[in-house]
Amino acid sequence: MRRIGVGLRPLLESVLAGLIGLGVGAIIMRAWGYNPWPAYMALFKESFGSGYGLANALANATPLILTALTFAVGARAGLFIIGAEGMMYMGAMAAVAASFFRLPSGWHALFALLGAALAGMVWGLIPAVLKAYRGVHEVISTIMFNWLAHFFAFYLVANVLVDPIRAEKTISVAKTSRLPILFRGTDLSFGIAVAVGLAFLFYLLLWHTVAGYEIRAAGANPHAARYGGVSPRRTVLLVFILGGMAAGLAGAVETMGRPPTYAVYSGLTNIAGFGFDGIGVAMIGRIHPLGIIPAAIFYGGLQAGARLMQMEAKVPFEMVRAVQGAIVLALALPELARLFRVFVRRARFQEKKT
């Protein structure tokens, strides 16, 4: 485990935080008069109880892996990039716009993927330059760029990419540019291979190349890294470029690999939120490219199951995002596992006393 940069304790902490999050979710459901047990039963039965559910959990995990990579690569360099949301919108726009061109099947998809990665990258570069040359805090700049992307995408969806027949959505991605569906009847597309492949690439880059070593050094100790000859500016630019590409691809897989419409709806309803969810996924995956994969499947499963939970137990599915927020809050605690042990010991101590 040491070789790939994770230990057992982070895993334990993630599981613990997951349980805390589900506990908070149960309290919320209780408080609003729902019964949490059947709700959670429905949720997990749906997402992890059948091959069909699992395929949909993986389909939901696909964009989350990519947006989580954006956050993770930034966090490894000590940057708090919360701009995956906006970068993802731009990627989705580019992926749809690529269908204005005519290209042979397969090549067209590759072209669209590259275009989306480029769009996300360009969108990430402006906050990167502001950070590197003007010192603008990346939290503020990326959030502002999320809003700019939000309005820009609104404009594109309504005016440029609009479907001439159905005005509530963009044109559908051309058949030649779609990602093939892996299992008939599910939403699981070839996009999962793109996402998992990129996660492995990010892992190799971060742990087995000089550039990756410099990124991690800049995050672990900026002063020492600078003294050692790592250019802070170059690191910032590199991290935003990598992150922008990943988030751009998230927008691409969500449009090119999402049946039945392969389009973006007005109000961005079918692509909104993946960027923010990616932050939580990255945290649960301990900002490690390989840890992100199971974390995304866990969260993608929660999302897939939550739809059924809404139908069966009538609990609104947005509940899972509140659960995720609680998980992240718990993960903010350093050495969560140690704290937990202290609590247990204290409780035992008090038991003995009474």
Partner 1 sequence: MNWAYFWSLFSISLHAMVPITLTAVGEVIGESAGLFNIGLEGILLLSAFTGTLGARAGGPLLGLAVGLFTGLGVGTIFGLICAYWKGNQMIAGVGINLFALGFVAFGLQVLGSPGFYTVPREAKLPPIRTEVGAFSPVIIVALILPFIVHWLLNHTRLGLRIKAVGENPEAADVAGIPVELTQLLSTAVGAALAGLAGAYMSVSWLGSVTKEISAGRGFIALATVVFSGLRPLLALAGGVLFGFFESLATWIQSLPGVKEVVPWQFISMIPYVATLLVVAGVIGRVRFPKGLGVPYRRE
Round to whole Å and give the CA distance between 290 and 200.
7
| 169: DSSP letter | B
Structural tokens at position 185: 């009847």
Residues numbered 5-34 forming contacts with partner 1, rule: CB under 8 A: 28, 32
Write down the least CB distance from residue 103 to partner 1, Å. Answer: 30
Residues numbered 30-59 forming contacts with partner 1, rule: CB under 8 A: 32
Q: By CB under 8 A, is residue 192 in contact with partner 1?
A: no
Write down the least CB distance from residue 231 to partner 1, Å. Answer: 19
Segments in 77-106 forming alpha helices (H): 84-97
Stretch that binds partner 1, among 180-188, 213-221, 223-231, 332-340 (CB under 8 A): 332-340
* Among 51, 104, 135, 229, contact with partner 1 (rule: CB under 8 A): 135
Write down the least CB distance from residue 291 to partner 1, Å. Answer: 15
Residues 6+ apart with CB under 8 A from 64: 250, 274, 277, 278, 281, 296, 299, 300
Structural tokens at position 278: 């990616």
Residues numbered 79-98 forming contacts with partner 1, rule: CB under 8 A: 80, 82
Segments in the chain forming alpha helices (H): 8-31, 36-48, 51-76, 84-97, 107-134, 138-155, 191-208, 210-220, 222-227, 232-256, 274-284, 289-312, 319-331, 336-353
Q: By CB under 8 A, is residue 182 in contact with partner 1?
A: no
Round to whole Å and give the CA distance between 134 and 128.
10
Write down the least CB distance from residue 284 to partner 1, Å. Answer: 11
What is the pattern of x (binds partner 1, CB under 8 A) and - over residues 111-130? Answer: -------------------x
Quick check: helix, strand or coil at residue 171? coil
Residues 6+ apart with CB under 8 A from 15: none
Structural tokens at position 210: 């000089």
* Among 231, 273, 294, 312, contact with partner 1 (rule: CB under 8 A): 273
* Among 95, 279, 284, 313, contact with partner 1 (rule: CB under 8 A): 279
Write down the least CB distance from residue 63 to partner 1, Å. Answer: 16
User: Smaller CB distance to partner 1: residue 215 or 279?
Assistant: 279
What number of chain residues touch partner 1 (CB under 8 A)?
49
Binding site for partner 1 (CB under 8 A): 28, 32, 80, 82, 130, 134-137, 139-141, 143-148, 151-152, 154-155, 158-159, 273, 276-277, 279-280, 283, 316, 318-334, 339
